[in-house]
């Protein structure tokens, strides 16, 4: 597994925080230069987020030792690239269109990019992939994909994992809305697999910023060795634990999927809508005759969607997030009005 870590970071001595060096109950904490009084948040948070990891472990049925937490999955992805790729030397690969941050993360880490074009149905040509990614250091697969909403075959990804010399980062931000199970159960089978998930989508905590890597214990140790010591605040850790425990998440997700199916059906029958792409996520990409005009009209009525028309193979497409039942109904009504339907 060591081969996947950037050479100059192999065996790095991690920063040892005050809270790493003493565990247990103490009456008086004079070790971290905090302010002993004044606020309820005067103490540094648990650097390894023990309670939150335990709670996520129970929620997702993933062993605690296979979990790494970041300030959103954007931080996790950033740390993964920093850990594995050498600036101004390495290249990362990802599909096109996909999540726009992959390109930004490559740039801020000094990495070149290799875009793998998806076809008009947003599928990959797996037979050409190994040649296309040869020599790259990491491949990021967003599964299901943003902004297209479709799933890629796990079998095909496993075939890549068997032959590819780099690390495969499977970004499962939307996996909870999908029929396919997570690839996290395979992390002990493939040393070059890291799965990334988030509490921002299905678990309604985008504002808290909690993302995770799921990987074998060596990956978790390596990520811990380079992370900022206190990357998740105490307030976030406590709030996330309480929300996870106090909510029926299966019901929440089922409701979103029901609404997604309703929106899919309605859009499919809507005059003016050229094409609706099947979705395994909490959004739908659809094609219209003039995306920019419809976008403006919705925005003027106070409903903001994402215009994805500038993305590869996404000419005249909008991406709409599944909102509440009332929000979705208003969105559909506005489209009907726009097309005089």
Would you say 270 or 279 has its CB closer to ligand PMP? Answer: 279
CA neighbor of 186 nearest in space, from 198, 194, 178, 197 = 194
Q: Which residue, 66 or 270, is less far from ligand PMP as judged by CB?
A: 66
Residue placing its CB nearer to ligand PMP in the complex, 137 or 319: 319
Residue (5 or 173) nearer to ligand PMP, CB:
173
Shortest Cβ distance from residue 174 to ligand PMP (Å)?
A: 7
For the bound state, the minimum distance from the C-beta of residue 32 to ligand PMP, rounded and expressed in Å, comes to 28
Residues 6+ apart with CB under 8 A from 37: none
Token duo for residue 259: 């609404």
CB of 243 to ligand PMP, least distance (A): 15
Q: At its nearest, how many Å lie between ligand PMP and the CB of residue 164?
A: 20
How far apart (Å, rounded) are the C-alpha atoms in residues 73 and 67? 12
To the nearest whole angstrom, how small is the minimum distance from the Cβ of residue 318 to ligand PMP?
16
Rank residues 253 and 334 by Cβ distance to ligand PMP and give the closer one: 253
Residue 178 DSSP one-character state:
S
As measured in angstroms, the least distance from the Cβ of 142 to ligand PMP is: 5
Whichever of 72 and 166 has its CB closer to ligand PMP, that residue is: 72
- C-beta closer to ligand PMP: residue 101 or 334: 101
Nearer to ligand PMP, 74 or 90 (CB): 74
- Measured CA to CA, the distance from residue 173 to residue 196 in angstroms comes to 7
State how far the Cα of 199 lies from the Cα of 42, in Å rounded to an integer: 26
Q: Footprint of ligand PMP on this chain (CB under 6 A)?
A: 72-74, 99, 142, 146, 171, 173, 198, 200, 206, 211
* Sequence-ordered strand ranges (E) for 225-272: none
118 close to 124: Cβ distance less than 8 angstroms: yes
Secondary structure (DSSP) of 85-135 = --TTT-EEEEEES--THHHHHHHHTT-EEEEEE--TTS---HHHHHHHHTT
Contact 138, 167 (CB under 8 A): yes
Q: What are the φ/ψ torsions at residue 193 (nearest 5 degrees)?
A: -110, 125
Give least dist CB 206 to ligand PMP, A: 5
Tokens of 120: 């008009």
CA distance 69 to 49: 8
**Strand, helix or coil at 275?**
strand
* Least distance to ligand PMP, CB of residue 39, Å: 27
Q: State the residue number with the nearest CB to ligand PMP.
A: 72
Q: Does residue 173 have a cis bond before it (omega within 30 degrees)?
A: no
């Amino acid at each position: 597994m060591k081969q996947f870590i950037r050479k100059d970071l192999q065996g790095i001595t991690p920063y040892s925080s005050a809270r790493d060096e003493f565990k247990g109950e103490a009456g008086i904490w004079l070790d971290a230069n905090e302010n002993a009084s004044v606020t309820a948040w005067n103490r540094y948070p648990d650097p390894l987020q023990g309670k939150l990891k335990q709670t996520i472990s129970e929620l997702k049925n993933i062993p605690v030792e296979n979990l790494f937490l970041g300030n959103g999955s954007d931080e996790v992805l950033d740390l993964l690239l920093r850990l594995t790729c050498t600036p101004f030397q390495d290249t990362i690969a990802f599909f096109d269109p996909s999540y726009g941050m992959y390109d930004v993360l490559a740039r801020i880490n000094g990495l070149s990019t290799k875009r793998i074009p998806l076809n008009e149905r947003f599928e990959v040509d797996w037979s050409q992939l190994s040649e296309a990614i040869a020599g790259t250091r990491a491949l990021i697969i967003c599964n299901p994909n943003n902004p297209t909403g479709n799933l890629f075959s796990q079998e095909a990804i496993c075939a890549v994992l068997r032959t590819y010399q780099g690390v495969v980062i499977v970004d499962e931000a939307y996996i909870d809305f999908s029929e396919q199970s997570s690839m996290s159960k395979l992390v002990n089978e493939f040393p070059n697999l890291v799965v990334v998930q988030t509490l921002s989508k299905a678990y309604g905590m985008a504002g808290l910023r909690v993302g995770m890597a799921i990987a074998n214990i060596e990956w978790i140790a390596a990520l811990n060795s380079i992370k900022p010591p206190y990357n998740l605040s105490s307030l976030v850790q406590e709030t996330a634990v309480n929300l996870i425990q106090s909510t029926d998440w299966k019901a929440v997700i089922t409701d979103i999927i029901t609404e997604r199916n309703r929106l899919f059906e309605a859009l499919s029958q809507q005059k003016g809508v050229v094409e609706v792409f099947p979705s395994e996520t909490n959004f739908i990409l659809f094609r219209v005759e003039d995306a920019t005009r419809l976008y403006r009209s919705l925005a003027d009525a106070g409903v903001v969607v994402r215009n994805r028309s500038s993305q590869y193979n996404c000419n005249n497409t909008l991406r709409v997030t599944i909102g509440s039942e009332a929000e979705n109904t208003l969105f559909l009504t506005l489209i009907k009005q726009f097309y005089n339907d």
